A and B are shown apart, each in its own frame.
Chain A
Amino acid sequence: MMQKVFTRPQSLKDRPTHYCPGCGHGIAHRLISETIDELGIRGRTIGIAPVGCAVLAYDYFDIDMVEVAHGRAPAVATGMKRTNPDKIIFSYQGDGDLAAIGTGEIIHAAHRGEQITVIFINNAVFGMTGGQMAPTTLLGQVTTTTPLGRDAEKQGYPLQVSELLALLPGTIYIERCSLHKPALIRNAKKAVKHAFQLQVDGAKGLSLVELLSPCPTAWRMTPAKAIEWMENEMIKVFPLGRLKG
C-alpha cells in the first residue's frame, strides 16, 4: 500500500507557471499556499497580486484574489481589511511595486498598523519590464538602465525598506529571508507562517516578510550563478534575519 506523503497544497493550482527557470516566485507561492492550508484559512483569505511578474499570481493560487494598480496593494488591503476584519488579507509585492512606486502606500499602511500581511519579494531589479534598476538594485549592479553599474552618486543607494518599516510602531513583525538555499527556504516558510499566524490571532499591526529571490533572467545569469551572486553579494546588502517582533 503506497502512502502519499507529499502533495500540492490545496491553495495552489496544478498548473505550470510562466515564471523563468531559476525564478523564486514559484517557491514563494508554494510557501504561502502551504501556510494557508496549514492554518485552515483558505475560505477567508484574499490575496492581492502586484504589478510585475507576479501579476498573474491568481492563475496559480487557488484562492480569491484581486489584481491592483502598481504599488497600491497596501491601500487596497487596507480597504479590504477595514471592511472585513474577519478576513485574512495579504499582499504579494515586488521591489518595484513596494519599494519604488508604492513607497507611500506601504509606509502609511505600516504606520497605521493595518492588520495585514505583506510578502515582499526583493530581487533587486524590475523583472517584468526587462531588468531595469530598482530601488533595491545593488551598487555596481548592471541593469538595462544602469549599463555602467549602479552608482551611488547618480542613482542613490539600495533602499532597505524592511529596516525602514521596522522603525514604525505600527509594524509588529518584520523578517528578511532568502529563497536561494533549501535551509533558508525552510526558514522562510516559518517566517511566512508566523506572519499569517499573527493576523489570524488578531495581532495589532502589520507583518511583513521580505524574501530575497533570484531573477536569473533580468540579472543575465544562469540560475546557478544567480544563487552564487545572492550568497556572495545580495545578502551582504540585505542581511537576513528578524528585524522586528
Chain B
Amino acid sequence: MCGNEALAEAAIIAGLDAYFGYPITPQNEIPAYMSKRMPEEGRVFLQCESELAAINMVFGASATGKRAMTTSSSPGISLMQEGISYLAGAELPSVIVNIMRGGPGLGNIAPSQGDYFQATRGGGHGDYRTIVLAPSSVQELADCMPLAFDLADQYRTPVLVIADGVLGQMMEPVTFNKKPRRKLPPKNWALTGAGDRKQNIVRSLWLKEGVVEQHNYDLQAKYKEIEKNEVLCEQYEVDDAEIAVVAYGIAARIVRGAVNKARQEGIKVGWIRPITLWPFPMEQIRKVAEDFKIFLTVELSCGQMVEDVKLAVAGKVPVLFYGRPGGGVPTIEQVLEKIRQLTLRPENVV
C-alpha cells in the first residue's frame, strides 16, 4: 500500500465520520481512496470547491461531535490556515494531513519539509499551537492516524500529520492496529440541537474585556499539558555517539542509512528522531546535549527544525545544519559525507 492510501484506511479504521478535500498533488491518492471507501462504510466523502471550504466543512462536522479530517499539500494547507486558527480558537478536534511539497508559492510537486515553521508555530493568526505528528514510514503513517484522532478529541485541538511526497507515494507493507485506544472525554459541548438541555455554543469570539486574554491562558495551560504528556521521540545508536544527527520524517530514513554506513566506518554517530514536532522533544534533547560533541540537523528545507534543536541544545555544543530545499532530496552518500566532515574538524565547523 502507498503511504497516502495507508493513512486513509487507518483514518477510516479510527472512526473517521467525514472526509473533505480538494485535489492537489502529491496527495491525490487520499481523496481517490476516500471517495471509494467512505461511501462503502456509509460515511461522508465530499470533494470541495476549495481548501477554504474543506477546512470549514471539517469545522462544521467537528462542531457536531463527528470525527472529520482533510488532507492537502503545502499551498492548500496555507489556504486552510484561517480555518485552523478558528478550530484552535473554538477548540474543535480535527485532523489535517499535509503531504508537503516544494515551495514557496506553487513551488513544485517534489518532496519537501518546508512547512515545519508553519506547522509548529500555529500557522494562522493568534497565539495557538497544533499537535504535529511526523511519521517516517508507511507503517508509522498508518499508526499515527488513530493517535491523531485520539489526541484531537482528548485535547479538543486540531492535530496535523505532516509527511512528504515520498512517504505519500512509497509502497511498504502495513498492518492496521485495531486495538482499543485512549479513554476519551464525552463530547458534551457538541452541537446536536438544544432540546431539553442548555444551549451549546461553539465560538472563538468574546468581546468583553479580558475574556479572550483568559481564553488564551486556558489554551496555554492545555498546551503545557500536551508538552508534558505527549512528546514522542526515537533514538538510535546514541549510547556511545559523539555526533548526534537530528532528523524527522523521510529525512530520518535517509539519515538512518547514513548513520549505519558511518558506523561501519567506525564513526561514533547516533540519530535522534522527533516524532512529535510540536510538542518538540526539547527536554529529551536538552538532557543529553552534553553527551555529544556536536549536533547535525538534516532537513528537506533550508533549516527550520534546526532552530528548535538549537533551543534545546542551548549553546552547550555546536549545532550544524545540512539540508536541501525546494524538492531536493539529500542522498545517503551526501549525508554520510557531512558526517565524515564533522569527524575531521568539528571545532572548525560553526
Contact = CB atoms under 8 A, between A and B. Distances in A.
Given A44-B195, A66-B201, 9 more contacts: A46-B192, A56-B205, A58-B203, A64-B201, A69-B56, A69-B82, A69-B86, A72-B83, A82-B57
A64 B199 contact: yes
A45 B200 CA distance: 11
9 contacts: A46-B193, A64-B194, A65-B191, A65-B199, A69-B86, A76-B56, A79-B68, A80-B63, A108-B49
Contact of B56 (A44, A62, A75): A75
B66 to A, nearest CB: 5
Given A42-B193, A108-B49, A69 B83 contact: yes
A78 B57 contact: yes
A75 B60 CA distance: 8
B64 interface: yes
A177 interface: no
A42 B49 contact: no
Q: How large is the interface on A (under 10, 10 to 19, 20 to 34, 35 or more residues)?
A: 20 to 34
B61 interface: yes
A43 B90 CA distance: 22
A51 B199 CA distance: 20
Interface of B: 17-18, 20, 44, 46, 48-50, 52-54, 56-64, 66, 68, 82-83, 86, 90, 191-196, 199-205, 207
A65 B189 CA distance: 11
Given A64-B201, A66-B202, A83-B66, A75 B53 contact: yes
Nearest to A62: B199
Contacts of A75: 48, 52-54, 56-57, 59-60
Given A79-B18, A79-B61, A82-B44, A66 B191 contact: yes
A88 B191 CA distance: 11
Contacts of A61: 199
A82 B194 contact: no
A76 B194 contact: no
B195 A42 contact: yes
A34 to B, nearest CB: 16
A84 interface: yes
Contact of A64 (B20, B68, B191): B191
A82 B18 contact: yes
Contacts of A67: 90, 201-205
Contacts of A78: 46, 53, 57, 60
A104 interface: yes
A110 B63 CA distance: 22
Nearest to A42: B194
